[in-house]
Amino acid sequence: MIVHVGVKSDPIENRYSFDWLFDLMADHRAGWLQLGSSFPFFHADEEWFRDLRRKAERRGIRIHSTYTSYREMTGFFSGDPHLEAASRRAWERLIRVAAWVGASSAGSSCGSVPRDLPGEKEPGLARFFRHMKELVRTAKAAGLDALCIEPMSSLFEPPSTPEEMDRVTGEMDAFHAADPAGTVPVRFCADVSHGLADRDRRVIVDNWRLFEAGIPHTHELHFKNTDDRFDRTFGFSAEERSRGTVDLERLSRLIDANADRFPVRELVGYLELPGPKTGRDYTDHLLGPALGESLAALKAVFG
């Protein structure tokens, strides 16, 4: 299995330009970008995105994916028709932007159930399926290869267990199989730092089991480190690797051992970091070294 190393654009928001990010990525031979959502993402004109694509390509970088950076799709689980409509428009924008920048997929988490409204989970999933069965047609018409969702770390943010993952993919696989020419498949953007722990911090599904359960539907992945309760996420500097639980060599072996089970022959993994605190003169300048150290660690394993 060929694994490409890329970057999700989130940590530059409001502090660095894309030119700065592209230069850093080129210096580290990380040629794939996942464009995260932001204020410009939802409001800038089409030409801004086409220009962004040209800037990336001049540096040998492909914008391969668009993905939400927040929980914009919560409206499907809110029980509020206005918020539901807002989430639908956000998905449509994700797809439209993906087409403008030449990406192969667009994605988001399914949404988040309000903790005070647990009864919205099942109705929310029904609304999610209804919208996705229309959106996979929109994505096909836009020239995309897939729509992606992300297994998460809370029962209020489905899917977060292998059983929930099977439920979502089973429903959407059957719909795609009935009209493969008119729809795209729904796949996973896996996150190797995601696992499920209960309110008492007991691990129910660890991150390795969750990742492995999703392999037959994994289209792309997020590279991120975490602790043994998935409480905090961070990168892959030497210090972070010493306290983190995501062993990159173990991940590489797991991917290689299951290469034939992935739906893609080349897998792109995006370094997804929040970076140091935004808007402080004593932290913003640390973003470059933080990304650089983690990219060096990833490239040492995945080439």
- Cα(36)–Cα(13) distance, rounded to whole angstroms? 9
Asked if 236 contacts 244 with a C-beta cutoff of 8 angstroms, the reply is yes
Asked if 9 contacts 68 with a C-beta cutoff of 8 angstroms, the reply is no
CA angle 175, 111, 37 (to 5 degrees): 100
From the list 9, 14, 7, the residue with the least C-alpha distance to 284 is: 14
Domain locations in the chain as residue ranges? 2-302
Q: Is the pLDDT of residue 71 over 90?
A: no
Helix, strand and coil content of the chain, in percent to the nearest 5, comes to: 50, 15, 35
Task: Give residue-wise pLDDT tens across range 259-300.
Answer: 999 999 999 999 999 899 999 999 999 999 999 999 999 999
Asked if 75 contacts 110 with a C-beta cutoff of 8 angstroms, the reply is no
Task: Give residue-wise pLDDT tens across range 73-90.
Answer: 889 999 999 999 999 999
Instruction: Give the number of other Cβ atoms within 10 Å of residue 60's Cβ.
Output: 11
Q: Is the pLDDT of residue 166 over 90?
A: yes
- Does this model's pTM top 0.85? My answer is yes
Measured distance between the N- and C-terminal CA atoms of the chain, rounded to whole angstroms? 12
Percent of the chain whose pLDDT exceeds 70: 100
Task: Give residue-wise pLDDT tens across range 208-267.
Answer: 999 999 999 999 999 999 999 999 999 999 999 999 999 999 999 999 999 999 999 999
70 confidence band (pLDDT: 50, 70, 90): confident
Q: What is the pLDDT of residue 15?
A: 96
Pairing of strands 196-197, 203-205: antiparallel
Task: Give residue-wise pLDDT tens across range 111-157.
Answer: 999 999 999 999 999 999 999 999 999 999 999 999 999 999 999 99
Give the CATH number of domain 2-302: 3.20.20.150
